[in-house]
A = this chain, B = another copy of it.
Amino acid sequence: MAFLEQIQDGPLRRREFDLDRGGRTVSGVLWEPAEPAGGAPLVLLGHGASGDRHQTPLPWLAKRLAGEHGCFALAIDGPVHGRRFVAPGGRESFWPEWQREGTVEDMNADWRFALDFVQSLPEVGTGPVGYWGLSMGTIYGAPFVAAEPRVTVAVLGLMGIVGPAHYVPTIEAAANAITCPVLFLMQLEDELFNREQYLALFDALATTDKRLHANPGLHPQVPVEELHHSIDFLLRHLRGEATDFSPTFTVSN
């Protein structure tokens, strides 16, 4: 395995890579701070359908995580996306892939493989790990977070309990197995998923430390304020800071 390219982007280093997992390519990108400190927090970023590892807002998040907060960020292409492109591409290629039994297991293994790889780099090391992924980043991300004990905090959303026949019990079981703190994002005018589907997924999350943020707009119109909240939320947990979940009645004035 080799890095395909290393790009210095201001204070950040962006390293593109292809991994070979038993004949299956896992294409990804690792963002590193100017002065990487092994054991610093690592945030995994899952992109949405028809995007790739560089889909907005992933690089935006990565630059802030690495450039301002000394963290690492890792994104990999979803199945049939990015450098794993399968014609005709976009959602047209994603729908049949989503209907394929085994797609979740494959992507789980891809994430695990990529995580093993970057944690084996001495400059990255084995610090705390968070996950951020909306829409398709939750379709695959919720099962991955459920299955991967290294992930201890997650931002999920833009998704409900819905999908192909094989997938509905998978996402429900995944939610039932997620016990880490979760910030769950919802779009109030989502044209893809309705409120009942959203709330069913939120309710199914086993963790008691979960919060729902619902914002106006269509599916992709997540406000930038939620991206800032996402980063705050992830960092607070990854750094082991007080999670602020004390009742207000104990706030000292």
Interface residues of A (CB under 8 A from B): 56-57, 59-60, 63, 186, 188, 208-218, 220-225, 227-229, 232-233, 236, 243-249, 251-253
Contact = CB atoms under 8 A, between A and B. Distances in A.
Contacts of A222: 247-248
26 contacts: A56-B248, A56-B249, A59-B253, A60-B252, A60-B253, A63-B253, A188-B210, A188-B212, A209-B216, A210-B216, A211-B214, A211-B215, A211-B216, A212-B212, A213-B213, A213-B214, A217-B247, A220-B249, A222-B247, A222-B248, A223-B248, A224-B246, A225-B236, A225-B244, A227-B248, A228-B244
A64 B104 CA distance: 46
A81 B75 CA distance: 54
Nearest to A221: B247
Given A59-B253, A212-B212, A253-B63, A248 B221 contact: yes
A81 B247 CA distance: 22
B212 A224 contact: no
Contacts of A217: 245, 247
Contacts of A246: 223-224
Contact of A224 (B209, B210, B244): B244
Given A211-B215, A216-B210, A223 B249 contact: no
Given A211-B215, A212-B212, A251 B229 contact: no
9 nearest interchain CB pairs? A221-B247, A225-B244, A212-B214, A59-B253, A224-B244, A222-B248, A211-B215, A57-B248, A223-B245
